């Protein structure tokens, strides 16, 4: 697909992000912090508030392709599939197939939240991690299996047990900071905090200072990888070592 150049806010790059319909965090935050000249465009996939593995699978099958197709019409420089849990519950092979399908169908660099986290971990030299999330125990355990299957050694973790997708955005920064501290194991090279509908980016710097280790979040890693795929290498203050050094 040929890139169409336009004047205006997207003169440097246009990023397309697909999010579940309950997500109220990723789009406004990304629009606020992206470098000048970069635009964020989002499309949504309907999902009911009650989050179960079956709900994520149904969302992807019924809504995912249409949402990606919508974004393709603005000729983005990169597309990010912004749902960590959908990749987690369907596995590494599914995630790789999804990325390949996006890239081959629309001829645009593409990533997913889960792949962005793994790419960030590799970039930061992280091999042993603690993982925390706002999810239910069922989804959280699937998440640990996913990242272990991808080659990371998982030591330590914690979750908040939130089952309502809209409510994932409710935890305040102090709650998220405490979650990260509670779930971190000193043997880990870094901390991963998942979910794009959780304001994890608000505590990255605070946690890195307290732990002395890098922190990767779904929101931060997804935006970082989409920007880098689009050729934008600007640093973003307040988003941790990932954005400061890479």
The percent of residues in the chain predicted with pLDDT above 70, rounded, is: 96
Q: How far is CA 122 from the centre of its chain?
A: 15
Inter-residue contact 165 to 58 (CB < 8 Å): no
Q: Is the pLDDT of residue 211 over 90?
A: yes
Instruction: Give the pLDDT of residue 163.
Output: 92
For β-strands 128-133 and 110-112, DSSP reports them as unpaired
Instruction: Give the pLDDT of residue 5.
Output: 62
Cα separation, 111 vs 96, in Å, equals 9
Inter-residue contact 191 to 216 (CB < 8 Å): yes
**pLDDT tens profile 189-204:** 999 999 999 999 999 9
**pLDDT tens profile 97-156:** 999 999 999 999 999 999 999 999 999 999 999 999 999 999 999 999 999 999 999 999
User: Model's pTM, two decimal places?
Assistant: 0.94
Q: If you write DSSP's letter for every residue of 125-139 in order, what string do you get?
A: T--EEEEEESS-HHH
Q: Is the pLDDT of residue 245 over 70?
A: yes
**pLDDT tens profile 152-170:** 999 999 999 999 999 999 9
Instruction: Give the pLDDT of residue 49.
Output: 79
**pLDDT tens profile 37-76:** 999 999 999 988 777 778 888 888 888 889 999 999 999 9
Count of residues making up the chain: 246
Inter-residue contact 113 to 83 (CB < 8 Å): yes
**If you average pLDDT over every residue of the chain, what do you get?**
93
Q: Is the pLDDT of residue 2 over 60?
A: no
């Amino acid at each position: 697909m040929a890139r169409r150049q336009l004047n205006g806010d997207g003169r440097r790059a246009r990023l397309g992000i697909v999010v579940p319909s309950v997500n109220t965090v990723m789009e406004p935050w990304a629009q606020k912090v992206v470098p000048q000249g970069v635009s964020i465009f989002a499309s949504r996939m309907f999902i009911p508030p009650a989050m179960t593995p079956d709900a994520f699978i149904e969302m992807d099958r019924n809504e995912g392709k249409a949402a990606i197709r919508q974004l393709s019409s603005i000729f983005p420089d990169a597309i990010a599939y912004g749902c960590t849990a959908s990749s987690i519950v369907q596995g590494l092979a599914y995630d790789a197939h999804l990325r390949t399908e996006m890239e081959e169908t629309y001829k645009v660099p593409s990533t997913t939240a889960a792949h962005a986290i793994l790419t960030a971990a590799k970039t930061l030299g992280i091999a042993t991690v603690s993982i925390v999330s706002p999810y239910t125990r069922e989804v959280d355990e699937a998440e640990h299996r996913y990242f272990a299957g991808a080659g990371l050694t998982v030591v330590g973790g914690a979750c908040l047990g939130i089952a309502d997708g809209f409510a994932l955005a409710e935890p305040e920064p102090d709650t998220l900071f405490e979650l990260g501290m509670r779930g971190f194991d000193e043997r880990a090279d870094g901390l991963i905090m998942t979910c794009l509908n959780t304001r994890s980016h608000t505590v990255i710097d605070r946690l890195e200072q307290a732990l002395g280790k890098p922190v990767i979040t779904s929101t931060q890693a997804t935006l970082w990888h989409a920007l880098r795929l689009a050729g934008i290498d600007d640093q973003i203050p307040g988003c941790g070592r990932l954005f400061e050094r890479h």
